[in-house]
Amino acid sequence: MRFQTPLVPARLIRRYKRFLADCRLEDGREVTAHCANPGSMKGLAEPGMKIWLEPNDDPKKKLKFGWRLVDHENGHFTGVDTSVPNRALRAALETGEIPELAAYGTVRPEVKYGENSRIDFLLSEAGLPDAFVEVKSVTLSRQPGLAEFPDSVTARGTKHLGELAAMAAQGHRAIMLYLVQRTDCARFALAADIDPAYAAQFDAAAAKGVERLVYATQITPKGVWIGDKL
């Protein structure tokens, strides 16, 4: 998935109200960017960090920049926009790039299911059970090389696990797919100390047949692509 507009480098001044970030462009201008990430962004929102912004000229948008990446200035990047994984994954699903799901020919995003929820992707194919795929963006890393989810308590994520378990109980495939939006991690674990309820619900969902997939991403200021399975 390529970014629609070339990204521009900046330095983070501060992130506040979860969805706003004041930034300084290379020419010295200070701008406010939209931060499409409701999580805590532990370790990713320190003042002075190099970041990459996507400018826009959409008259309907109040903010003219969107915060897309953290540049760790060591050759590695983290994608902070939580909408990016779904866009990148949709392209990968439609072209059969996820081996475990490549047999499905129909990919439908944002389908209603469960109790007032929407599944990220519903996959279908004649002769196969429907596959309900929930996607989570993973950006937390507290140990070198290890990515963790979640980075804060997520009641919504816990609810999704319960609804996936219900789909598995009905004979469907139910997949929790974690997409690691960090290029410096090769392993994944649940952050049970941050949200014990989520970790417990995951174990319960797995016992009922919910599958877990973890994939890396390739990230540059040009775009984000699905990487290797972790």
Measuring CA to CA, how many Å separate 71 from each of 28, 80, 177, 215? Answer: 18, 11, 25, 20
Does one domain contain both 205 and 92?
yes
In a domain, 1, yes or no: no
Does one domain contain both 133 and 214?
yes
Does one domain contain both 73 and 102?
no
Over its length of 230 residues, how does the chain's per-residue pLDDT go in tens digits? 899 999 999 999 999 999 999 999 999 999 999 999 988 999 999 999 999 999 998 888 899 999 999 999 999 999 999 988 899 999 999 999 999 999 999 999 999 998 888 999 999 999 999 999 999 999 999 999 999 999 999 999 999 999 999 999 999 999 999 999 999 999 999 999 999 999 999 999 999 999 999 999 999 999 999 999 99
Domain boundary residue, one of 40, 64, 79: 79
CATH number at residue 198: 3.40.1350.60
In a domain, 194, yes or no: yes
Does one domain contain both 12 and 113?
no
Does one domain contain both 125 and 213?
yes
Domain boundaries, position 39: 8-79
Domain boundary residue, one of 79, 103, 135: 79
Identify the pLDDT of residue 61: 85
Does one domain contain both 102 and 130?
yes
Provide the number of structural domains found in the chain. 2
CATH number at residue 56: 2.40.50.580
Identify the pLDDT of residue 114: 81
